[in-house]
Structure 1
């Protein structure tokens, strides 16, 4: 092969590659950004939660509205509750995640208190239930205090 032919072939290859759009390959399609991680300040939507508590044993039973960013609503301490949610989210924890299936929990009973949290937090729908039926559930409840009230012993 002559040097002229080699240069001509190389130049033709570059010309063909330059004419093909950058996105023209087999895996093209609209690129969708993944949703922001839980707790990200870039997560869309208003933070509005309804917290319902029954049988807490300390007079804090009822249904409360909690709004964060800025803190407000009928919750007894919206600033502390929003602060706790922000702490958990900043640590990369989902405050509303259930106890993982297959987790071994201590067999202790913490009382008959139950709570239900619904609404939207950091752009995600929330529908979480809480109870004090074993050590894992007690720990899960306590981790969310003051969003959920401390319970009477």
Structure 2
């Protein structure tokens, strides 16, 4: 478990203990769980993250939101991959073979903060990015 994951887990457990103590021996019936996932998605021109930042959105899951244009679809797709961006199914199909690389980056947490998300992959062009990750990086 990474230090970042341990810190988040400890913070969540501390908040839960404080809420438990504040409300006596039983937790409140309408307790609101922390968001299941929070991920910042970025697309850079070129290979790696030294290129121009093309676009960036924020994705919150459970409850779905953020600046992503399709948070419901993106959250469902990330959930199907169990938070592992390397397992995104995408939408296979043809793309042109022109080399205009873009790099997709996802950073944040999944499983309520238990799993860190740290994904970076370069695709040959925007079509290949779309085909490999839709609808997650469709923004």
Give the TM-score taking structure 2 as reference length.
0.50
Q: Which has the higher helix share?
A: 2
Give the TM-score taking structure 1 as reference length.
0.46
Q: Is the radius of gyration larger for structure 1 or structure 2?
A: 1
Q: Which has the higher strand share?
A: 2
